[in-house]
Chains A and B, each alone.
Chain A
């Protein structure tokens, strides 16, 4: 499969816009997950604007592909993608986490169109996604389920319960993407809780593993397309990323896991992402 320069440039522009939306949703003087949103932004953009079959006007379309944000603390990233896709107005993003807002601190299936299930207690999204994939298979719905997990998150044991189960059920319509940005809330993942060789782990659990640069749009699109050709086993895409990507002062900075932007930083971030 080839990817035209135009397609890639469009997706890159969309990812920049989504990163700007994230900054706007966070605003000034209030903590928000800049780091993990920006590390995942290219992947999420490729899913919503290249790969997934979905309809913002009909969020419950039966044969839609589904996306689950297992690392639910970056809900603002998914909200930005959903808004850009047309599920709700982009202006609504400014009201994220406000009292009464339909955009909660973590994804809420009851409140937000386009959210497939509540996530945020880490480690559970892959299991939920497996349930969806099994439901799709059982009902012969030709669709896939994509689940984005963090590399800190995979310390949760349930991830590996799901990994084992997905393999046992031959869930080849389930695709996990690990955002390997190397940082978690309290420091470098390698220092705080070393999850070791993730590729070897998933391979030993019976998954097809693809490793990519999670900021190279061409590589992301190709990995997502390649996953379609894998039969009989689930696929995991291990995406090497930079936490805070695109905002120079936040890149690889632990403090911006859930950081507060000053007015100056807010303005600078929007300039850098323009």
Chain B
């Protein structure tokens, strides 16, 4: 415990759960050193499958493994997990409601150096559109531990989106993860700020900076689908406006899911995220987030703007 990296949390939790649950098997496509599938491989070599650089085959093999009663976790970078194996996941895993868990590692801009080819800003939109698919995006390492446990307990296809980099936890250790439930992290009455993944950390910082000026409610949306619609409506109720923050295209991601939930009880909204553009290389994560306006300061300004205008 005490991880500050989602990949570490993920890999170690699988090892931990694998101790008592022999159904858990892990598949990697030559990225186990990064996805932390290597930890499971070291602990249970017979239950780890190195599938080579072949994500499509890996996903279909996982479907077959699941049909023998196992619980396969497939690991890759998010951009390949959904990008290279979309059809395999849709056709066999999702239509069949098979018990396959898909981990999209190094998602969003978190693979800062590799550039647009490796920065996945579409995965939540892709998987949210697939019937039967559950989509998780935990805020931090602590929440990742619990989300992985919830994935094992849940019988059905599930995608989890993870960040590559180290950052401090915003959520407590050991708090059970409830699939589908957005969680109010900080109460507030003026603006509802919905955030997912690393943006939760920035949202809490923004709310703290605005303390005394604007009362900001921060909601962690760690499940993108299914999403408790009434909980979203309740969270936004009483606030003047809504701001969403995600490390993902603003088209089709968490912000869109919130907008759908609020459609019958509308609020003025501002979407913070990638503005329908691809990422690029940078020497560090912070620099790249700043370049695309995914910062505490941007959130502070967006909240102020919505507070002034509405």
Contacts and interface: CB of A to CB of B under 8 A. Distances in A.
Nearest to B100: A131
A250 interface: no
A132 B91 contact: no
A192 to B, nearest CB: 22
Contacts of B52: 161, 164-165, 168
A110 B156 CA distance: 12
B61 interface: yes
B292 interface: no
B56 interface: yes
Q: In this complex, which of A127, A131, A133, A165 has the most chain B Cβ atoms within 10 angstroms of its Cβ?
A: A131
A175 to B, nearest CB: 14
B92 A128 contact: yes
A110 B72 CA distance: 19
Contacts, number: 110
A130 interface: yes
B68 to A, nearest CB: 3
Contacts of A34: none
A213 B39 CA distance: 48
Interface stretch (A22-30, A118-126, A225-233): A118-126
A138 B87 CA distance: 27
B25 A133 contact: no
B51 interface: yes
Interface in A131-179: 131-136, 138-139, 141, 145, 157-158, 161-162, 164-165, 168-169
A145 B59 CA distance: 18
Contact of B57 (A108, A116, A135, A161): A161
Contact of A118 (B47, B69, B91): B91
Interface residues of B, number: 30
B221 interface: no
B95 A118 contact: yes
A137 to B, nearest CB: 10
Interface string B88-105: 100110011110000000
Contact of A109 (B49, B72, B96): B96
A35 interface: no
A116 B67 contact: yes
* Residue picked from B57, B66, B67, B95, most chain A C-beta under 10 Å: B57
A138 B51 contact: no
Contacts of A270: none
A116 B95 CA distance: 13
A136 B52 CA distance: 21
Interface residues of A, number: 33
Contacts of A118: 91-92, 95-96
A90 interface: no
A145 B63 CA distance: 14
A131 B95 contact: no
B65 A127 contact: no
Contacts of B51: 165
A130 B72 CA distance: 14
Given A120-B91, A121-B91, A127-B56, A135 B64 contact: yes
Interface string A232-246: 000000000000000
A132 B67 contact: yes
Given A117-B92, A121-B91, A168-B52, A135 B60 contact: no
Contacts of A214: none
B54 interface: yes
A118 B68 CA distance: 14
Contact of B67 (A108, A117, A164): A117
A131 B65 contact: yes
Nearest to B93: A118
A132 B64 contact: yes
B68 A132 contact: yes
B308 interface: no
B63 A128 contact: yes
Interface in A95-125: 108-110, 116-121, 124
B95 A124 contact: no
Given A108-B96, A117-B96, A138-B70, 4 more contacts: A109-B67, A158-B54, A165-B61, A169-B49
Nearest first, the 4 closest Cβ-Cβ pairs linking A and B are A131-B64, A135-B68, A127-B60, A161-B57
27 contacts: A108-B95, A109-B98, A110-B95, A117-B96, A117-B98, A118-B92, A119-B92, A124-B60, A124-B92, A127-B61, A128-B61, A131-B61, A131-B63, A131-B64, A131-B72, A132-B64, A132-B67, A134-B65, A135-B67, A138-B47, A145-B64, A158-B54, A161-B56, A162-B57, A164-B54, A165-B51, A165-B61
